[in-house]
Amino acid sequence: MAFVTHQIVRSLSSSAARHAAIKHVTIIGGGLMGAGIAQVAASTGHSVALVDTSEDILKKSVKGIEGSLKRVVKKKYADKPEAGEEFIQKVLKNISISTDATSVVQSTDLVVEAIVENLKIKQDLFHGLDKVAPAHTIFASNTSSLPIGDIASSTSRLDRFGGLHFFNPVPMMKLVEVIRTPSTSQETFDALLDFSKALGKHPVSCKDTPGFIVNRLLVPYMMEAIRLHERGHGSKEDIDVAMKLGAGYPMGPFELLDYVGLDTSKFIIDGWHQMDPDNPLFAPSPMLNKLVAEGKLGKKTGEGFYKYK
Ligand SMILES: NC(=O)c1ccc[n+]([C@@H]2O[C@H](COP(=O)([O-])OP(=O)(O)OC[C@H]3O[C@@H](n4cnc5c(N)ncnc54)[C@H](O)[C@@H]3O)[C@@H](O)[C@H]2O)c1
């Protein structure tokens, strides 16, 4: 009995120790995703260092976080505006900014990378950080489409490397895909699961396969909607209405494509097609390619499959 109790206490304290381990987080990339991850991590009491390439980008990023927090507070603290303002100041105090990743990682427990979706650039970043980060520091990438193992291969900490795939907008979306490669240690994987839970998110565990779970199902679905339309089997409006009213989806596939960005969707499908050219689910689409070539990238450019002006 004493042994069992001892075991329970040990397991509880090691779990608590793991939790305590991730207190300081460095987020590289203060764009759409990085700013969202920084906001959520700081809101849940983590000390956050946000890194980007220039002070201007970082200032814009923090301004965006402040605006987002104001919207949260407006709802959450509707009757107590002073407590809301106090919350915002507390969260912002948890965030520091830097253009020098190598100096901030020296005191960090976890690095979450959310920079441009380019394998070589991500590898170069992690290769440099690997040399200066403490031995216990875990590295994670928020990549949507690149193999985590390929990014990790630029470092010597394959056992302390995994994926943390957040969803846009990060403060609203509950899911985090936690990705393990064959080399990710159990301890690292558990620490990433615990961290996701500490952010108030719901983690699911994924293998390091193209698109993990969500995008592996969603991207071929969106591509198939384009092919259906290309074959003349349905207008984009009808396909969108059909999936909303018939399948209960909040957005139709063409609305979703425009929201995600047609360039991003093309980038993902082209990468997968290159990896697995015989897979018909990964076949490129002439219609998507044409829209991207014309600069019609979706909501962000004012036109994609639909016009937004
Ligand atoms: N946008 C989405 O919906 C989404 C969802 C999940 C995952 N992701 C992934 O998250 C990552 C970031 O996507 P995003 O949409 O936030 O991009 P973004 O373009 O909004 O932001 C990227 C930021 O990284 C900065 N950056 C680029 N290189 C850098 C470097 N070497 N060091 C420091 N900062 C650098 C840029 O200045 C920019 O501010 C990508 O890997 C993407 O695949 C995106």
* 13 pocket-lining for ligand 1 (C-beta < 6 Å): no
Task: Identify the CATH homologous superfamily for domain 2-207.
Answer: NAD(P)-binding Rossmann-like Domain (3.40.50.720)
Q: Quote the distance between the C-alpha of residue 308 and its chain's center.
A: 26
* 118 pocket-lining for ligand 1 (C-beta < 6 Å): no
User: Does domain 220-300 sit in CATH 1.10.1040.10?
Assistant: yes
* 34 pocket-lining for ligand 1 (C-beta < 6 Å): yes
- Point out the residues that are catalytic: 144, 165, 177, 215
- The residue whose C-alpha atom lies closest to atom 33 belonging to ligand 1 is 52
205-262 pLDDT, tens digit per residue, is: 999 999 999 999 999 999 999 999 999 999 999 999 999 999 999 999 999 999 999 9
* 125 pocket-lining for ligand 1 (C-beta < 6 Å): yes
Measure the CA–CA gap between 155 and 131, rounded to whole angstroms.
8
Domain spans of the chain, in order of start: 2-207, 220-300
The model carries a pTM of 0.90
Binding residues are: 29-34, 52, 68, 75, 117, 122, 144, 168, 300
Q: Which one of 33, 151, 300 would you pick to mutate in the ligand 1 pocket, going by the greatest count of ligand atoms within 8 A of its CB?
A: 33
The whole-number pLDDT of residue 309 equals 79
33 CA closest ligand 1 atom index = 16
How far does residue 13's CA lie from ligand 1's centre (Å)? 36
Please name the residues in contact with 98: beta carbons below 8 A apart, sequence gap of 6 or more.
49, 50, 51, 58, 104
* 33 pocket-lining for ligand 1 (C-beta < 6 Å): yes
How far does residue 32's CA lie from ligand 1's centre (Å)? 7
Give, rounded to a whole angstrom, the gap between the first and last alpha carbons of the chain.
70
Q: Which one of 26, 27, 28, 32 would you pick to mutate in the ligand 1 pocket, going by the greatest count of ligand atoms within 8 A of its CB?
A: 32
The pair of three-digit structure tokens given for residue 217, joined into one six-digit string: 């199902």
The whole-number pLDDT of residue 115 equals 97
280-293 pLDDT, tens digit per residue, is: 999 999 999 999 99
- Mind listing the pLDDT tens digit of every residue in the chain (309 residues)? 444 445 544 444 444 444 447 999 999 999 999 999 999 999 999 999 999 999 999 999 999 999 999 999 998 898 898 999 999 999 999 999 999 999 999 999 999 999 999 999 999 999 999 999 999 999 999 999 899 999 999 999 999 999 999 999 999 999 999 999 999 999 999 999 999 999 999 999 999 999 999 999 999 999 999 999 999 999 999 999 999 999 999 999 999 999 999 999 999 999 999 999 999 999 999 999 999 999 999 999 999 999 997
Residue with tokens 């291969």: 153
The whole-number pLDDT of residue 8 equals 46
